[in-house]
Structures are given as structure tokens and as C-alpha cells.
Structure 1
Amino acid sequence: MKRLHLLLALCAGLILGGCANSGTGPVPPKTVEKVDLKRYQGKWFELARLPMYFQRDCAQSEAHYNLKPDGTMGVLNRCMTLEGEWQEASGTASPQEPGKTDKLWVTFDNWFSKVLPGGIKGDYWVLYIGDDYQTALVGNPDRKYLWILSRKPVIPALERESLLAKARQQGYDTTRLIWRVSDRDMVAHKR
């Protein structure tokens, strides 16, 4: 039942995110020039995110990306709740414009996408990627969603502050970020 709620909420979030910025409004955030999807693939830890309904129970989240031969990315999002239960959603990320890899559409494999194939897409804009592909900022055009990602579950404070500054420069409200729950706090919560 929790998985169904996660998928329903995810669909609602993607619908709202995909509809955003369809008219005139604020200038959208600037994305990176190009993302090397081969280097981008692999496991990313979510260090922080702006509030999102479908992630409301997530204490620790991670994303796994796998480059496919057709140039799309397989997506597996995993979330551990404070109770220690894993929730998962899988899907596909594909370029919004042929040949460009900074702005992707993400669709998830669920009953809703089977009913409306191609109708539910979420914006996945890469706003920043470290030269070494160890940290990234990902958001959407209306700035409702933001994720701070890293290859490690913890990064040095100076690096964290640099990522926060980059997000603020792009117009994101970093005061509302929800931070990854530490492993120590996860263990303490289970007791």
C-alpha cells in the first residue's frame, strides 16, 4: 500500500512539475552546458531536497542511473524511511532536446504512465555538476524542486556551503531544504 501511495504521489508531483513555467514568468534557472551521461551514471546520494510530497517519508534517499544503448538513462530511486523500510520507483530519463543532456524528461514505470503513455513527464535539469562528477545540483524550471546530490552520503562543510551558494544564486530557497538523516540518527530512531 505504501508503494502505491509513493507512486501516486510521484505521478502528481511530476504532473505539477511538468506543467510549470508553461506561460510567462520568472527566468528559469541556468543549466550546465553538457552532461556526460556515461560519467553521470551510477549511484548518487541525496544530501538534501526541497519538500516534495512523494518523498515525505524519506529519511535517506539515493538515485541509481544506468546509461542505455539508446542514449536514455534507466532510473531507480530508492528511499529509506525512518522505520528502515525501502521504497522504490523506477523509470527512464531522456533528453528534452535531441543531442542535449542538461535537461532531461523523467517518466516512471507505473500504472499511471501505462494509462497515459508519454503524458506524465518530470523536468530534471542539471544545474551544476562538479568537474569530477562527484557532486551535482538538480532542479526544475519553476524552482519548486531541488536536489543536492553526491557520490558520498556526507561531504565536507566547505563543499556543502559551496553547493548551497550555487543553489541560492540560481534562485532556490535553501532555507526549506530537508537534509539526509545521518546513519547514527537512523540507528537511534530505531531503538
Structure 2
Amino acid sequence: MKHLLLPLLLAGCTTAVVAPLLPSYRDADVAIASKADFDPARYAGLWHEVARFPVPFQNGCAGATAEYTAPTGGVIGVRNTCLDADGAPVRSITGTAEVTGPGRLAVNLNGVPLTAPLWVLWTDAGYRTAVLGQPDGRAGWILNRDPVIPADRLRAALTVLDFNGYDTGQLTYSASR
């Protein structure tokens, strides 16, 4: 696949057609919850990938960024960029994310014929760190406004993933962390 399907991502490839081919990193017996007080306007801006669960569409990416525009009519613009080990852009993909509920997005990436759910599981109070996941557990990310995340917010993000049934031992960390 030529395009990076990253955090908002990358979600397009994990629908019913492709999902059986990808592993789940989440215990389906554990309840999962999205952020009830999610504010899409505060979420807008540039995010740096800190960690992700391995997904084929990010092969060759040492890290990634995700940029979201302020919502217009419940739709957020998305640009995901794959970065090499030096932090230089390798490839990117654009699309939209429709707000479908509190902390819940339906992601459509240009050139990808599928829509995928992406849930915002948590952000810190200042919207500096975010945890995203697909409810089926086939993808998940820790994002931060800066390339390097403070240890306390990384611990909090890992706790959120663990609470939602994700196996944090399978995370891949970005080069800049």
C-alpha cells in the first residue's frame, strides 16, 4: 500500500474486509470507552506519534505526525505524514473525520474506499497528549503535541490503554520519543 494510513488514520484498512487479517491488540472482553467530554476544536492542530501498535500501513515509518483542522459542521480535516528516522516526511495522506459521538470519529482517507471508527480514549486536561484506538483493538496510538512526551503523561497514556484492554507490551515507540 503506497499511502500511510496513520492515526486517523490508518483506520481505513481495518474494516470487515481487512480486519480478519490484522491482529487485535485489545482484549475484547474488556469494556472500552471514548472520551465523553471530547472537544474537537481543542483537538485541532499538529500531533506527533509517540507510540503505536504495529500496523502494516506504517511499515517503514520511524514516526508520524497527524494534523487535524478545526471542525466544520462536525467534520475534521486530517493529514497524516510518515516520517523517516531523521524526522523528514516520507509520504502523507489526507482525508476527513466525522464526529459520530462523544470522542468517536469515522475516518475517511482519500483513496481508501473504507470508513473506519477511531475513538479518542483520553486527552490530558490541556490537550497536550491523546490516546486513540479502534474499538476492535486492531490499531491504537499515543500522540503528543511535542515530539518528546513527558514521563508522567506517557505513564497516564499507557494506563488508559491498559484500562481499555490494550496490550501495551506490543507498542512500537517512535524514534523521537
1:54-133 equivalent positions in 2, closer than 5 A? 54-82=57-85, 84-96=88-100, 100-110=101-111, 112-113=112-113, 120-133=114-127
Alpha-carbon displacement from aligned partner over 1:118-171 (angstroms, at most 9, x marks no partner): xx1111101111111111110011112110011111122222122111211111
The count of residues paired between Structure 1 and Structure 2 equals 167
Query: Is the CA contact (8 Å cut-off) linking 1:37 and 1:101 kept in structure 2?
Result: no
Query: When you count helix as a share of all residues, which structure comes out higher?
Result: 1
CA RMSD of the aligned region, Å?
A: 2.7
- Alignment partner of 1:5 is 2:2: yes
Query: Is the CA contact (8 Å cut-off) linking 1:17 and 1:122 kept in structure 2?
Result: no
- Alignment partner of 1:134 is 2:135: no
With 25-34 and 39-48 compared, the bigger mean Cα shift is at 25-34
Query: Is the CA contact (8 Å cut-off) linking 1:31 and 1:126 kept in structure 2?
Result: yes
1:30-49 equivalent positions in 2, closer than 5 A? 30-49=33-52
Q: Kindly name which structure, 1 or 2, has the bigger radius of gyration based on alpha carbons.
A: 1
User: Match of 1:14?
Assistant: 14
Task: Give the CA deviation at 1:60.
Answer: 1.6
Secondary structure of 1:64's counterpart equals: strand
Query: What CA distance in whole angstroms lies between the structure 1 residues aligned with 2:104 and 2:161?
Result: 17
1:146 to 140, 145, 157: 140
Letter in structure 1 aligned against 2:45 = G
Query: What CA distance in whole angstroms lies between the structure 1 residues aligned with 2:143 and 2:33?
Result: 17
- Alignment partner of 1:157 is 2:151: yes
Letter in structure 1 aligned against 2:110 = D
Query: What CA distance in whole angstroms lies between the structure 1 residues aligned with 2:5 and 2:52?
Result: 19
Query: What CA distance in whole angstroms lies between the structure 1 residues aligned with 2:160 and 2:96?
Result: 27
Query: Is the CA contact (8 Å cut-off) linking 1:73 and 1:93 kept in structure 2?
Result: yes
Alpha-carbon displacement from aligned partner over 1:21-64 (angstroms, at most 9, x marks no partner): xxxx6354111112111111000111000001100111120100
Task: Give the CA deviation at 1:67.
Answer: 2.1
Percentage of pairs with the same residue: 33
- In structure 2, stretches of 5+ residues that fail to align are 21-27
Query: What CA distance in whole angstroms lies between the structure 1 residues aligned with 2:160 and 2:5?
Result: 32
The TM-score with structure 2 as length reference comes to 0.82
The TM-score with structure 1 as length reference comes to 0.77
Task: Give the CA deviation at 1:19.
Answer: 6.1
